[in-house]
Amino acid sequence: MSGHDWVDLGLPSGTKWATCNIGATSPEDYGDHFAWGETSTKTTYNWSTYRYCNGSSSTLTKYCYNSSYGNNGFTDALTTLESSDDAATANWGSAWRMPTYDELNELKNNCTVIWKTQNGVNGRLFTGPNGNSIFLPAAGYRSGSNLIGAGSIAHYCSSSLYTGYPSGTWYLGFSSGSYDMCNLGRDYGRSVRPVCVSAPAVSTNDATNITTSGATLNGNVTHDGGATVTERGFVYGTSADNLSQNVQCGAGTGTYSQAITGLNANTTYYYKAYATNSQGTRYGEVVSFTTPSGKVGDYFYVDLGLPSGTKWATCNVGATNPEDYGNYFAWGETTTKEIYNWSTYIYCNGSSSTLTKYCSNSSYGDNGFTDALTTLEASDDAATANWGSAWRMPTRSEFNELKNNCTKTWTTQNGVNGRLFTGPNGNSIFLPAAGYRDGSVLYGAGSRGYYWSSSLYTPYPYSVWPLLISSDGLDVGHYSRLYGFSVRAVCQSQN
């Protein structure tokens, strides 16, 4: 948070500990030393330079519950540092603070603690119940203008006043031989290892979209204070208690989504999101989704219970979820392009009357060309070319069957307009209003959708039978094959 990393040690309180000291750039760096209640360093540490007294331990001007130690008998009710006097908060921001006596004591009592040398620096390694660790270097302490005991001892400040006498405070002290909670005068310069006020949290939304290649899982990483999230993603599996597959989605906070592949048909999967910063990890809630009942190759289909038994793909060719528009193809072409017009169309010599394939009328053929082809060949089918031989573009008859046998609803699904087709058996597919491409422009996205069939319009062979959807209705009409339309594939076989 705020550019600083933390570790979850699995402590009973849930306290998260920073990975290094205030003023340090690595866990082994000593960092800065602070008198208790002061937020900046100085050259001399004693009562004459201490902020909250008038030159001695018996003239305290803040944090004093005993008049014997107060300046002219001064007392107040403060026994814990206010945030304005907290070196962690002042230097790292409001997401951080100095630990309390109880939190340092919890660290001491709930961790395995060993003296070790890490990257050439002596200190103590605190390993929590979950196996995660933090290293506290033996940074010594400052008295007067001297650094004392660096490499052999350490004093780590708490935010808690010592109740025996208010000129002293609690700190965690250690050497190679021992470690314990101690108290000494608050004028000394000691190390500060902060704790998190609130750690970065991960939450997942419920918008789990089944896709051609598996599922698109959506997540949101939120935080308090600006976390440095170094990694985020999902873990998933077929059991809520065994999420072994890991999908990484990069670093940083905010919303994100990632498609996963290799899922089986008719299977319930479970997943949860995570975010890490250094050794800390936070997980979202477990969410489940069930894949469609059928799969051919890498792509899922839905059985709508139609009379012909035709199985429809769950999303468009080129899309990663049902709401994605996917790619746009001129009829008979299998790749996308920048310009959609007769001059770029593969099967003509520059115009609608110079067709070189799929031409039933010599008036439209190049030099009177005709052939007997009225349905796309597999080599010219965008579904087959992109998804494999098990898939193809639907015929005009299959579009009419879809139109005549389904309940059709104009709806908005995950923020995208389109038509939901619900078959006789209650299963559904969603066709987004993806618009169409003419020249270099996309028209009608969000209000209309155009889906190619594989069937030529024989009276005028420069035209084809597509399915048109809009908020007003739907129809199987005929449109010029030069346009860039969407493709929703059907299964040729269900093996």
- The 8-class DSSP code of residue 362 comes to G
At 88, give phi and psi (nearest 5°): -70, -50
210 contacts: CB under 8 Å, gap ≥ 6: 289, 291, 292, 300, 314, 321, 322
| Residue appearing with tokens 């033996």 | 138
The amino acid present at 110, given as its one-letter code, is N
Its pTM stands at: 0.62
The predicted pLDDT at position 469 comes to: 97
Q: What does DSSP assign to residue 361?
A: -
Residue 300 pLDDT grade (very low, low, confident, very high; cuts 50, 70, 90)? very high
43 vs 255, which has greater pLDDT?
43
Query: What pLDDT, on the 0 to 100 scale, is given for residue 246?
Result: 87
334-351 pLDDT per residue, tens: 999 999 999 999 999 999
**Where in 138-253 does DSSP place strands (E)?**
141-143, 146-148, 153-161, 168-175, 179-185, 195-196, 201-204, 209-211, 214-222, 231-237, 245-248
Q: 404: helix, coil or strand?
A: helix
- Residue 114 included in any domain: yes
pLDDT interval class at 242 (50, 70, 90): confident
DSSP readout, 288-306? EEE--SEEETTEEEEE---
Contacts of 23 (CB under 8 A, 6+ apart): 29, 30, 31, 32, 41, 91
Domain stop point among 173, 196, 219? 196
- 75 near 173, Cβ under 8 Å? no
d(CA 68, CA 82): 22
Which residue from 309, 277, 284, 316 is spatially nearest to 294, judged by alpha carbons?
A: 309
Which range has the worst mean pLDDT, 238-252, 339-353, 480-494?
Answer: 238-252
* CB neighbour list of residue 318: distance below 8 Å, 6 or more residues apart: 324, 326, 327, 336, 386, 487
Residue 214: what pLDDT? 64
| 339 and 449 co-located in one domain | yes
Non-local (6+) Cβ contacts of 259 within 8 A are 211, 213, 214, 215, 216, 320, 321
- Asked if 229 and 200 touch (Cβ cutoff 8 Å), the reply is yes
DSSP string, 80-109: B--GGG-HHHHHH-TTEEPPPHHHHHHHHH
Kindly report the number of other CB atoms within 10 A of residue 8's CB atom: 19
CB 380: neighbour CB atoms within 10 A?
20
Mean pLDDT, the chain, whole residue set: 90
Residue 280: pLDDT band by 50, 70, 90 thresholds? low
| Whether residue 173 sits in one domain with residue 81 | yes
pLDDT over 60 (residue 352): yes
On whether residue 179 sits in a domain, the answer given is yes
* Section 21-40 average pLDDT: 96
Q: Which residues contact 464 (CB under 8 A, 6 or more apart)?
A: 331, 452, 453, 455, 456, 457, 478, 479, 480, 481
Top-confidence residue, 439 or 270: 439
pLDDT score of 377 more than 80: yes
Task: Report d(CA 431, CA 450) in Å as an integer.
Answer: 10
Could you report the per-residue pLDDT of 102-127, keeping only the tens digit for each? 999 999 999 999 999 999 999 999 99
Both 192 and 234 in a single domain?
no
The Cβ of residue 289 has, within 10 Å, a number of other Cβ atoms equal to 18
CATH code: domain of residue 231: 2.60.40.10
- pLDDT grade for 443, boundaries at 50, 70 and 90: very high
Measured CA to CA in angstroms, residue 302 lies from 120, 316, 338, 494 at distances of 62, 13, 32, 11
Q: Are 272 and 234 in contact (CB under 8 A)?
A: yes
Nearest to 461 by CA among 372, 338, 333: 372
Asked if the structure places residue 55 within a domain, the reply is yes
Q: Is residue 264 domain-shared with residue 367, that is, in the same domain?
A: no
- Answer yes or no: do 284 and 159 share one domain: no
Structural domain for 142, as ranges:
6-196
What CA–CA distance (Å, rounded) separates 472 from 366?
A: 38
**Residue 57's closest CA among 188, 187, 189, 190?**
187
**Domain membership flag for residue 350:** yes
Give pLDDT, residue 495. Answer: 47
Instruction: Single out the residue in 139, 169, 196 at which a domain terminates.
Output: 196
Residues 176 and 225 in one domain: no
Total domains, the chain: 3
Residue 423 CB partners (closer than 8 Å, separation 6+):
302, 303, 304, 305, 306, 405, 406
Last residue of a domain, one of 168, 196, 224: 196
Q: Are residues 285 and 303 in the same domain?
A: no
Residues 327 and 430 in one domain: yes
Residues 445 and 411 in one domain: yes
Residue 1 lies inside a defined structural domain of this protein: no
Q: Check whether residue 133 and residue 160 sit in a common domain.
A: yes
Angle, vertex CA 80, rays to CA 75 and CA 85, nearest 5? 95
* Cβ count within 10 A of residue 359: 26
| Residue 147 sits in the same domain as residue 267 | no
Residue 396: its H or E element: helix 396-405
pLDDT tier at 448, thresholds 50, 70, 90 = very high
Across the strands, what pairs with 7? 17
Phi, psi of 183, rounded to the nearest 5 degrees: -140, 140
CB count within 10 Å of CB 331 equals 30
Same domain, 258 and 302: no
- Sort 197 into a burial class: Cβ within 10 Å, 0-12 / 13-18 / 19+: middle
Strand partners, 119: none
